[in-house]
Amino acid sequence: MSSHKAAAVVPIITSQVERLAIIDAPKEAHQHQHHIHRLIRKYSSEKDSDEDNLSDDGNDDACCPRSPVTCGPSPAVEKGHGLSRLLRNNKAWSKAIRERQPDFFEKCSQGQQPKVFWIGCSDSRVPENELLQLAPGEVFTHRNIANVVVSTDLNCLSVLQYAIDVLKVEHVVVCGHYGCGGVAAALGDHSYGLIDHWLGNIKEVKQQHREGLDSIQDTEEKCRALVEINARNSVLTVAKSPIMRAAWERGQEVEISGVVYDIKTGLLSELGYHVKSEKDLNAHLKVESKDLFANRAQ
């Protein structure tokens, strides 16, 4: 593998294994380096690499296991199949975790106790566990196009209810992100088919804040503003739900916050929308649209 490819792969592996804080004790330096180099070979993007086409134990079929219960009639996938590569990556990842903490997956199988419920965009560039530096089991997640929360979406509300009533999360985070394709599409007047129905929710937010948005001349900056306002709207919709109001009434401590992710920098910023009570909600609802744009550079 070339040096620049190796450099690109190392952060991926370390982010999946080491920085998830599941390591009880550091390995010896030479053992650690050997382990990393072996994983680099597994994650190499060179399809013709001999190492990439071999499983850890030399068994070609071992990298693409079949479920013993629901084994379907389709033939086994070959080495060049896209699914084969995904399964090999998963095998390498699982093995790396187990080598560092043998009982990690056993503990995961016993249940989840996340403190954070994340409502984000489906965009593949916004991986919540990665950017929050949290391990599997620490973030409960719901994602959709443009992180929209509406009172008629039973899918989102069902996940919210489970997060609040069953998992007892302490923080609901609504995350928008700059460069959001759904928000950009909602700014225009083009038709995209079925997704127009979903984008209608963002268009309503745009209409509610049209004066402030129209005062922004730069198209990219206008899109960034709508990303923030759309996240704010989702925060308030969560806060207005019967689920949240019932939780606060019974004294459950849970806060809703709005953040935005900048894909260009990899950084999160808080938006100043924090709601942890009915009183906070009422205060946010009293803020006029023009005041939300007061500090934005023209």
| pLDDT for the residue numbered 31 | 46
In this structure, are 128 and 275 located in the same domain?
yes
Q: What's the CATH number where 228 sits?
A: 3.40.1050.10
In this structure, are 178 and 228 located in the same domain?
yes
Cross-strand bridge partners of residue 257 = 173, 274
pTM confidence score: 0.77
> Which helix (DSSP H) or strand (DSSP E) does residue 235 occupy?
helix 219-240
* Candidates 63, 85, 123, 175; catalytic one: 123
Query: Range with the lowest mean pLDDT among 85-99, 189-203, 269-283?
Result: 85-99
Q: Is 190 annotated as a binding residue?
A: no
In this structure, are 86 and 129 located in the same domain?
no
Question: In angstroms, rounded to a whole number, what is the distance separating the alpha carbons of residues 183 and 230?
Answer: 8
In this structure, are 250 and 127 located in the same domain?
yes
Asked if the structure places residue 297 within a domain, the reply is no
Q: Are 77 and 64 in contact (CB under 8 A)?
A: yes
**Residue 35 appears among annotated catalytic residues:** no
Provide the residue range defining the domain that includes 188: 116-292
Q: Is 63 annotated as a binding residue?
A: no
In this structure, are 283 and 136 located in the same domain?
yes
Q: Which of 109, 135, 161 delimits the end of a domain? A: 109
Q: Does the pLDDT at position 43 exceed 50?
A: no
**Residue 177 appears among annotated catalytic residues:** yes
Q: Which of 85, 109, 133 delimits the end of a domain? A: 109
Question: Per residue in 77-136, pLDDT tens?
Answer: 777 788 888 888 889 989 998 999 899 899 898 989 999 999 999 999 999 999 999 999
**Residue 189 appears among annotated catalytic residues:** no
**Residue 71 appears among annotated catalytic residues:** no
**Positive or negative torsion for Cα 48, 54, 55, 56:** negative
Q: How many folded domains does the chain comprise?
A: 2
Asked if the structure places residue 73 within a domain, the reply is yes
Which amino acid, 100? R
**Residue 197 appears among annotated catalytic residues:** no
Q: Which of 119, 146, 126, 118 is nearest to 264 (CA)?
A: 126
* Candidates 64, 121, 175, 223; catalytic one: 121
Q: Is 223 annotated as a binding residue?
A: no
